A and B are shown apart, each in its own frame.
Chain A
Amino acid sequence: MNNHLSRRGLLGLGLGAGSAALLAACGDSGPSDKVTGGQNAGPAAASYSGPNVTLAFWNGFTGGDGPFMKKLVDQFNTEHPNIKVTMNVYQWADYYQKVPAAVATGNGPDLGIMHVDHVATNAARGVILPLDDLAKTLNLTEGDFSPPVWNAGTYRDTRYAIPLDVHPLGLFYNKTVLEKAGLDPAKPPATADEYMAALDQLKGKGVAGHWATPFPFTGQMQFSTLLWQNGGKLFDEQGTAPLFAEQPGVQALTWLTDLVKNGYSPKNVAQDADVVALRNGKNAFNWNGIWTINTLREDKALQWGVAPLPQIGTQKAAWAGSHQFVQFKQKAKDDNKLTAGKVFINWISQHSIEWAKAGQVPARKDIRDSAEFTALTEQAAIGTQIDYLQFLPATPGIADAMATVDTAVNEAILLRKEPAKALADAAGKAGQILEGNRKKYGA
């Protein structure tokens, strides 16, 4: 079997080399020439039997998640004597500036992780390579993952990223605070009515139950969630026009702002004050990312739980991010490295139950459905939201336009602008930014 595969690999090598020569013949060999599927159409395999290769794998897992990934990498290295993966970790903010620069100078890593909203931008800028062939060879389809997260990794009908995990918002709650207010800590609110009733009861006991943060983490994520729950969209499908200032958005931001106006939240909540207050017993509910599990776990004395977000609007929805595997463009194409990299991506994906323990929801369905995953109570609770998670449209530079939403959320929750006005102002700016990006990246 090995023999067979290596022959196929060799064939692939020939094909790949051929298309590389073709590409080279086209002239422009700068880092940003348009990469086509042809460049790595050949070498994608479930196993690698070529000469020894070393792969540089960069990511931003600086927190408690880093050691989990390191352990997986070590295990992979042990099981694959001819592939050695070395892992480098940077702060995400540095990472997203460092990687394109490294790729541009031909010193880029072979493999990396990207948040889903960075995939389109980096595909358009020629930083990452298409992975269609990997999906094809391994017969990966949206059914093996979940349609929203699987589709989020494509740009212009080409796949550039393979999902590793999703990290949605969840409803974190302080059980002690709920109990003191006479609420059932085993049954967190799931509907708008239940949620408002709980907030009222908490308010009666002098507790502001939902500290509304004006900052992107996680104020903007809460706003986006509510907008989607109201049936709205942040942008149109192509990411060419902002739609967040329409009725569903205004309704969403008004709901958040009313939390402050009606005393369910204090005014002027600073960055992270919402989750600190939850830990101090001053706050009951916090819509926060799944990564909060690790933070709260450190607090041994804290009685806490997490549930899917309540449905405030007309339909279910939740904000989520997703870590996705990507392969970076190299100065000189090395099919052995590309194949080995794909073997690595596939292997980690299959072993992502270990990654779930780091506080993530694996993107793979078979792993999410496994008994091992359902045993991770907190992750599994948040994971039930998988089929109605929402992501931004795969438009390069979409994050630039989201910055205007951050500002609108900030101004409204700090009660400096009416929600409708804040969103309309932001939409005006976002429209200009999107237009500029269309010109820049080519429509």
Chain B
Amino acid sequence: MAHDVLAPPAADRGTTPEAPVRRVGRATPYLFLVPYFLLFATFVLAPAIYGLWVSLHDWDYLLPGKPFVGLANYQALFDSGSAVFEEFWQSMQATGIFTVASVPLLVVIPLGLALMLNRAFPGRTFFRAVYFAPYVLGVAVIGVLWRFLLDPNLGAVNALLGLVGLPDASPWTTGLPWAWISLVAVTVWWTIGFNAVIYLAGLQDIPRELYEAARIDGGGKWAEFRHVTLPGLRPVLTFIVINTILASSNMFGQALLITQGAPGNETRTAIMYIAQKGLREYNMGVAAAMSYLLTLALLLVSVITFRLLRDRDAS
């Protein structure tokens, strides 16, 4: 069947180069994009533009008056006397701390893991599954699980530390910097498998011959890693770094469930604060403005990362 459909145009093209098929063919890529574009426009583009409109108003979708306030919602974010200034920037700082602490670990550890899991050894498939397994769990499951384990007074973690003679009263969920250590560690444990699998796929794409060539040239293991593995992984690395930065900056569930933003509001991330302002207090205008500021910041970081990784590629 497929042959019957495809065969005539192929034959046509050979005989009559200016056939109408070509004009149809020009639209083909766009036609293929239409279904996705429709979804994208409905669920991303339109809401994003609408959000911009919302951010220019004092917006509560149920109140009749939605006064236009111009850029006041944005100005409030930069006015140290406003009701949202201090808490918004504290939440941005929380997001920043978490991202800076978690991204390097989530880029480096899965790489090491992937290198190990790429070797041939008995039980390899088993270990691949083991490291990937936590990623299958939902954030609610891992959140509640670790909240119990990390409980400062009753949790298993402190109890085990006590057994081996280490300090057994660390406030893993209620004090600093422990709360950050917990959130980063739990996230690394939870998502390590995802990045590792991507690395693993990237490693398997690197041509064997390059390693052979390196060996013939007398390069050691380190030289192989530096001059073959890393350059071969660069496209994958770019994806992983940007993807991990974005995922970490969107951290929500872990802090909501494990620390509830405590101590004080120290571990309340930007997304948590935006959700509170917009969805609980119905101040959707200012919440939309915050979202745009966060988006802008993430865009900037992504572009810088992309540039850094690409430039090195060019040299």
Contact = CB atoms under 8 A, between A and B. Distances in A.
Contacts of B23: none
B171 A268 contact: yes
B256 to A, nearest CB: 11
3 smallest CB-CB distances across A and B, nearest first, come from A432-B83, A268-B171, A268-B152
A270 B64 CA distance: 42
B276 A270 contact: no
Interface stretch (A250-258, A271-279, A298-306): A271-279
A125 interface: yes
Interface in B42-99: 58, 60-64, 82-83, 86-87
Contact of B58 (A33, A125, A411, A440): A440
A340 interface: no
A30 interface: yes
Given A270-B174, A414-B174, A429-B83, A277 B263 contact: no
Interface string A88-101: 00000000010011
A268 B153 contact: yes
B276 A411 contact: no
B28 interface: no
22 contacts: A28-B64, A31-B62, A97-B279, A104-B61, A125-B63, A127-B62, A268-B152, A268-B153, A268-B174, A269-B174, A270-B151, A270-B152, A270-B155, A271-B260, A282-B154, A397-B282, A410-B264, A411-B264, A417-B264, A429-B87, A439-B58, A440-B60
B107 to A, nearest CB: 31
Contacts of A125: 60, 62-63, 282
Interface residues of B, number: 33
A265 to B, nearest CB: 10
A403 B152 CA distance: 24
Interface in A400-443: 400, 403, 407, 410-411, 414, 416-417, 429, 432-433, 435-436, 439-441
Contacts of A211: 153
Nearest to A442: B65
B64 A30 contact: yes
Most central of B58, B150, B152 by chain A CB within 10 Å: B152
A277 B262 contact: no
A266 interface: yes
Contacts of B153: 211, 266, 268-270, 273, 277
B26 interface: no
Interface of B: 58, 60-64, 82-83, 86-87, 147, 150-155, 169, 171, 173-175, 260, 262-265, 276, 279-283
A182 to B, nearest CB: 24
Given A410-B262, A410-B263, A410-B264, A273 B154 contact: yes
A411 B280 CA distance: 22
A67 B61 CA distance: 34
A115 to B, nearest CB: 14
Interface in A78-115: 97, 100-101, 103-104
Given A33-B64, A440-B63, A411 B263 contact: yes
A100 B263 contact: no
For chain B, what secondary structure do more than half of its interface residues adopt (helix, strand, loop), or is it mixed? loop
Which of B63, B173, B175 counts the most A-chain CB atoms under 10 A from its CB? B63
A268 B151 CA distance: 9
Nearest to B81: A432
A16 interface: no
Contacts of A439: 58
Interface in A35-49: none
A400 B62 CA distance: 17
Contacts of B171: 267-268, 414
B159 to A, nearest CB: 12
Nearest to B86: A429
A270 B83 CA distance: 29
Contact of A407 (B83, B174, B265): B265
Contact of A271 (B82, B147, B283): B147
Contacts of A267: 152, 169, 171
Nearest to A434: B83
Contacts of A33: 64
Given A268-B153, A429-B83, A400 B175 contact: no
A146 interface: no
Contacts of B175: 268, 414
A389 to B, nearest CB: 25
A126 interface: yes
A271 B283 CA distance: 28
Contact of A214 (B58, B60, B61, B174): B174
A137 interface: no
A172 interface: no
A399 B281 CA distance: 8
Given A268-B173, A440-B58, 15 more contacts: A28-B64, A103-B62, A104-B62, A126-B63, A127-B62, A267-B169, A267-B171, A270-B174, A273-B151, A400-B280, A400-B281, A410-B264, A433-B83, A436-B83, A436-B283
A267 B260 CA distance: 17
Given A32-B64, A436-B83, A416 B154 contact: no
A116 B174 CA distance: 30
Contacts of B155: 270
Interface in A324-374: none
Nearest to B58: A440
A33 B60 CA distance: 13
A194 B27 CA distance: 85
Contact of B276 (A403, A432, A435): A403
Contacts of A319: none
A280 interface: yes
A28 B147 CA distance: 49
Contacts of B281: 397, 400, 433
